[in-house]
Chain A
């Protein structure tokens, strides 16, 4: 079964991509690469990058699933963070030019690839795993559909980094402010009826930086490719912190 749709008519577009190879480049630069794309089919930005890599084999970027679930290919597309594999060219392109850069705020390893270490370090700080004190039952722990529903909009995070690297507070204090992705995960466990470490978790967040550096600018919400809402999670944690001080 051949499921490639026949495509005849082509048009050319210019991809302007950020290039940097620490092995040979002193400085990063932008490179224009012309590619031919079909007229009658909307490609994704990732497809365009793959076409560009056929000409410029050294062009480097991460990718895996190709369907927006693995979180590999977060990048800055015409000024906005997003996943290349689920961003259609028709949406992204302005005129005939597509500008693609690495996600801002993190060190660039090569071309479109950033070093995600700070991002994952912050994630680990929120103890992103279920903590229970009671012994586990023989079967599953019970949870009602209503309790489970509280995790919707939280557990779906794919750790792509689009949000944290769009957050000015994270740019300024990537080592102290946890950033929207880590805070969303923190709330994912606080909100879980099975988790028994809420107090500990709140203690860990109760300083001037970890959480309180969020100024509610909502950049994170507007870029999240999974439609999640870190700002709301952060304000839920804030409410918990305030309530327990009373």
Chain B
């Protein structure tokens, strides 16, 4: 059965696995490793060869209190920083779990062979990152981010791939997952997916389906994200009737290369680099007198946007900021930041050891996602209460467990991937071995999941992908960026509402079954649209400023009304609130305070 036909459930071949993981990035491959080592029949489905996943781009490092740089370091300090960074809507039970389990997960990676940079004592090298402190904010800057030069994501992803090869994981490489298959109980029994090269399509059936599909930064015109970051997992979950949480929370990274979007890591500032405006002033000293350039990302991005708005931007259009590294000397720049040197030369035509790098705040990370508990089990809301979805799990950037809340700290995503990827694997192994079973899906259920593909295959006219994508990305960029305002957001939402029909009925002119990237881009764009609309509607509903969500019309944080997660369902476009967890198991909860850096 090929992907270019009109497909009916009754003709569709089935593949069976104990567990399937959609996504071969850091989170997916950490989950699969756990399952493969337990002897369960596990497959990783990935639309790109696993080492091409976006995790490969992560540069700066993975944050964790492994007590290498500072033998007195404490995971509770890391927890404090993370809660504060989240602007208090990160779930404290999950943050506690991540920070305390973290060291185990890091040492496991080292044992698998991850080539971390080293200290003179032979331990893992740690560098300072933004928002890090010692002694609950009282002891000054900490150095807690474990690094393999500035290629930590590359090293982590390749190491996990190697470990999966060793463990004998089944890889369905260059397979594309279209939609989840449900049963009458609204449980998840697998996914519809096709092999991109041959176009062969299958219902891949399993008692545990894990979404590990990564982020969706491509909803914005300017982003540090790879072209494949199209929020497929979010699209699949929303269409299946499951919610997303805190999806309005998008991180803008202070240092995307001007004109291209490519990231230069926060590690640059960790190693001593700093930002200057067109007067050569180190302006972060004004905005964050203590942490300066290593304040939290939301704080730095807003300060930069302000400098530019007030006419102190660099260049002829006064539309960017400069990042200085030259004072560190070529030794530090080339040794500690070799990848950055390469990227700056390629994309900004400057050698950072000699000249500053032109940068602007750029869309970088999706803090929101599919709500889960610490075992990766997906949560939906029934009658105002949390309810677990049988058969469905999520981990990594697509999930919202939630450890990042309103603003993620640098280096915490890679930790999130390995800690919760591992936790999901452990839990799935246990529940499968206890004999969890799900009701079979009917042909109608399966046909439901084939709708979108059939619709695309029978398209005869309408707008094509490239044309639609640009308008949506520009809309998001202009109306849902670093600073947001009610009237502009409403205009943006109207635009999305008016164009939904065109996105649902994209015209696909190339109908070939073989490695058809046009079909994939169309399916991806529909997912991006779902993420964009969810972001827009929820952003407009959250009438306060918190973390990365900064509103000109509601400039204050409103703890009375919004110390809450937002929950969005696409079926009725509703936004509701969900309680934040303030009940960690081994420490006292950290109560909301004013955030100062």
**A-side binding surface: helix, strand, loop or mixed?**
loop
Q: Give chain B residues whose Cβ lies under 8 Å from the Cβ of A53.
A: 466, 517-518
Contact A115 B197 (CB under 8 A): yes
Tell whether, in the assembled complex, residue B52 and residue A71 are in contact, meaning their CB atoms are under 8 Å apart: yes
Instruction: Quote the shortest CB–CB distance from A192 to chain B (angstroms).
Output: 7
Identify which of A63, A64, A109 gathers the most chain B CB atoms within 10 Å of its CB. Answer: A64
- Whether the pair A130, B52 counts as a contact (CB closer than 8 A) is no
The minimal Cβ–Cβ distance linking B141 to chain A, given in whole angstroms, is: 23
A132, B48: Cα distance in complex, Å: 30
Residue of A nearest to B343 (CB): A67
Size of the chain A interface, CB-CB below 8 angstroms: 63
A138 — which chain B residues lie within 8 A by C-beta?
A: 107
Known contacts A2-B221, A58-B510; is-contact A159 B51 (Cβ 8 Å) = yes
Interchain CB contact (< 8 A) of B154 among A21, A66, A88, A158: A158
Nearest chain B CB to A108 CB, angstrom units: 10
Pick from A143-151, A199-207, A215-223, A235-243 the stretch touching chain B.
A143-151
A142 to B116, CA, bound (A): 11
User: Given that A1-B361, A155-B115 are known contacts, is A60 also in contact with B107, CB under 8 Å in the complex?
Assistant: no
Report whether A129 and B512 are in contact in the complex, using a CB–CB cutoff of 8 Å. no
Compute how far the CA of A144 lies from the CA of B155 in the bound complex, rounded to whole angstroms.
Answer: 18
**Chain B nearest Cβ from A115, distance in angstroms:** 7
- Across-interface contacts of A105 in B (CB, < 8 A): none
Given A2-B478, A64-B228, is A148 in contact with B165 using a C-beta cutoff of 8 Å?
no
Report the minimal beta-carbon distance from B175 to chain A, rounded to whole angstroms: 14
When the two chains form their complex, are residues B259 and A63 in contact, meaning their CB atoms are under 8 A apart? no
Please determine whether A86 and B118 come into contact, CB atoms closer than 8 angstroms: no
Q: Which of A21, A24, A88 has the most CB of B within 10 A?
A: A21
Set of chain A residues within 8 Å of B589, measured between Cβ atoms: none
Q: Would you call A22 an interface residue if the criterion is a C-beta within 8 Å of the partner chain's C-beta atoms?
A: yes
Residues of B within 8 A of A67 (CB): 57, 262, 343, 346-347
Contact (Cβ within 8 A) A71 B51? yes
In the complex, per-residue mask of A64-76: 1 if CB is within 8 Å of any chain B CB, else 0: 1111111110000
A65 to B217, CA, bound (A): 12
- The one of B116, B228, B317 in contact with A140, judged by C-beta atoms closer than 8 angstroms, is B116
Bound-complex Cα distance A110 to B347 (A) = 30
Q: Does B587 contact A (CB under 8 A)?
A: no
B261 close to A145 (CB less than 8 A) = no
Question: Is A136 at the interface (CB under 8 A from chain B)?
Answer: yes
Map CB proximity to B onto A149-170 as digits: 1 under 8 Å, 0 otherwise. Answer: 0010001101100000000000
Mask: chain B, 111-124; 1 = CB below 8 Å from A; 0 = not: 11101111111111
Contacts of B155 in A (CB 8 A): 155
> Nearest Cβ distance between residue B253 and chain A, in whole angstroms?
11
User: Across the interface, do B158 and A145 meet the contact criterion of CB distance under 8 Å?
Assistant: no
With A23-B512, A109-B515, A156-B154 given, name 8 new contacts (CB 8 A). Answer: A3-B319, A4-B259, A23-B513, A69-B57, A86-B346, A115-B197, A144-B118, A189-B113
